[in-house]
Structure 1
Amino acid sequence: MPVPVPQLGAFDYVPETKVNLDWADLVTVDLGLYSTPEGKKQLAQTLINAIRNEGFFYVKNFNISQERVNHQFALGKQFYELPLEEKEKYTPEGLDQGRFNGYIPAGRRIINPATGLRDNIEMYNIPKFNGNFPHEHPELIKKNLPEIEEFARALHTEVLDPLFVLLAIALELPEDYLTKIHRYPRKSEDHLRYMKYSKYSLEENKTLDNWGYGHTDLGSFTLLFRQPVAALQIRSHLNNEWKWVKPQDATLTVNACDALQFLTAGYVKSTIHRVTVPPLDQQHVDRLGLLYFSRPHNDIPLATIQESPVLQREGFTKNEFEISGNPVPTMEEWTFAKQKWQRTKGYHGDAKYRNAVILPGFAEKPYV
Structure 2
Amino acid sequence: MSSASVPEIPHHVPAPSTKEQLEYAELAIIDLEEAKTPEGRARLAPRVRDAMRDIGFIALKNHGWTKEQKDRIFDIADYTFTHVSDDEKRKYEGKMAETGSYQGYKLPKYWHIANGVQDSVEQYNMNRDVTVREHPEAMRPFLPELREFGKHNHFNVVHPVLSFRRTLFVNMYNYEAPGETSMRFIKYFPRTEEDEEKTKQVWLKGHTDLGGITVLWSQPVAALQILSPDGKWRWVRHIENGLVINAGDAMEFLSGGYYRATIHRVIQPPVDQRGYTRLGAFYFSMPDDSTRLVPVMQSPVLQREGVNRRFAEEDAPSMVDWRKGRISAFGKTELKKREDGHEEEYINGVLVKHYN
TM over 0.5: yes
Once residues 295 and 235 of structure 2 are traced to their aligned partners in structure 1, the CA distance between those partners, rounded to angstroms, is: 32
In the alignment, is residue 359 of structure 1 matched against residue 348 of structure 2? yes
| 1:215-253 deviation digits (Å, cap 9, x = unpaired) | 0001111001111110000012x2121101011112101
In the alignment, is residue 230 of structure 1 matched against residue 231 of structure 2? no
Once residues 108 and 35 of structure 1 are traced to their aligned partners in structure 2, the CA distance between those partners, rounded to angstroms, is: 43
Residue 207 (structure 1) shift: 4.2
- The one-letter amino acid of 1:118's match is Q
Once residues 327 and 196 of structure 2 are traced to their aligned partners in structure 1, the CA distance between those partners, rounded to angstroms, is: 27
Maintained 8 Å contact 1:225/1:291: yes
Residue 8 (structure 1) shift: 1.5
Assess, with a 3 A threshold, how the Cα gap between structure 1 residues 313 and 72 changes in structure 2: closer, same or farther: same
| 1:119-148 deviation digits (Å, cap 9, x = unpaired) | 101111000227xx6221112211110111
- The residue that corresponds to 2:267 in the other structure is 276
In the alignment, is residue 99 of structure 1 matched against residue 90 of structure 2? no
- Within the candidate set 258, 261, 264, 2:255 is matched to 264
What is the TM-score when the length of structure 2 is the normalising length?
A: 0.93
Once residues 331 and 324 of structure 2 are traced to their aligned partners in structure 1, the CA distance between those partners, rounded to angstroms, is: 10
Once residues 208 and 363 of structure 1 are traced to their aligned partners in structure 2, the CA distance between those partners, rounded to angstroms, is: 24
- Within the candidate set 321, 326, 350, 1:333 is matched to 321
Residue 40 (structure 1) shift: 0.9
In the alignment, is residue 122 of structure 1 matched against residue 122 of structure 2? yes
Maintained 8 Å contact 1:98/1:343: no
- Within the candidate set 79, 88, 91, 2:90 is matched to 88
Residue 112 (structure 1) shift: 4.1
Residue 355 (structure 1) shift: 2.8
In the alignment, is residue 70 of structure 1 matched against residue 71 of structure 2? yes
- The one-letter amino acid of 2:142's match is N
Once residues 301 and 7 of structure 2 are traced to their aligned partners in structure 1, the CA distance between those partners, rounded to angstroms, is: 48
- The residue that corresponds to 1:137 in the other structure is 135
| 1:149-180 deviation digits (Å, cap 9, x = unpaired) | 01111111211111111121xxxxxxx31221
Residue 366 (structure 1) shift: 3.7
Once residues 337 and 23 of structure 1 are traced to their aligned partners in structure 2, the CA distance between those partners, rounded to angstroms, is: 33
Maintained 8 Å contact 1:60/1:250: yes
Matching of residues 171-182 of structure 1 within 5 Å: 176-182=167-173
- The one-letter amino acid of 1:123's match is Q
| 1:302-333 deviation digits (Å, cap 9, x = unpaired) | 111111111111122x52122xx652111111
In the alignment, is residue 315 of structure 1 matched against residue 282 of structure 2? no
Residue 281 (structure 1) shift: 1.0
Residue 19 (structure 1) shift: 0.9
Matched residue of 1:26: which SS?
coil
- The one-letter amino acid of 1:35's match is K
Residue 41 (structure 1) shift: 1.3
Once residues 348 and 204 of structure 2 are traced to their aligned partners in structure 1, the CA distance between those partners, rounded to angstroms, is: 23
Residue 202 (structure 1) shift: 4.3
Q: Percent identity?
A: 34
Maintained 8 Å contact 1:226/1:249: yes
Residue 214 (structure 1) shift: 0.6
Once residues 338 and 206 of structure 1 are traced to their aligned partners in structure 2, the CA distance between those partners, rounded to angstroms, is: 28
- The one-letter amino acid of 1:19's match is E
Assess, with a 3 A threshold, how the Cα gap between structure 1 residues 54 and 296 changes in structure 2: closer, same or farther: same
Question: Structure 2 regions of 5+ residues with no counterpart?
Answer: none
- Within the candidate set 138, 154, 177, 1:186 is matched to 177
Once residues 97 and 142 of structure 1 are traced to their aligned partners in structure 2, the CA distance between those partners, rounded to angstroms, is: 24
Assess, with a 3 A threshold, how the Cα gap between structure 1 residues 241 and 327 changes in structure 2: closer, same or farther: same
Maintained 8 Å contact 1:97/1:343: no
Question: Structure 1 regions of 5+ residues with no counterpart?
Answer: 169-175
- The residue that corresponds to 1:298 in the other structure is 289
Assess, with a 3 A threshold, how the Cα gap between structure 1 residues 17 and 202 changes in structure 2: closer, same or farther: farther
Maintained 8 Å contact 2:111/2:332: no
Once residues 83 and 140 of structure 1 are traced to their aligned partners in structure 2, the CA distance between those partners, rounded to angstroms, is: 10
CA RMSD of aligned residues (A): 1.9
Residue 76 (structure 1) shift: 1.4
Once residues 343 and 262 of structure 2 are traced to their aligned partners in structure 1, the CA distance between those partners, rounded to angstroms, is: 17
Maintained 8 Å contact 2:117/2:198: no
Once residues 125 and 285 of structure 2 are traced to their aligned partners in structure 1, the CA distance between those partners, rounded to angstroms, is: 13
Once residues 194 and 325 of structure 2 are traced to their aligned partners in structure 1, the CA distance between those partners, rounded to angstroms, is: 37
- The residue that corresponds to 1:217 in the other structure is 209
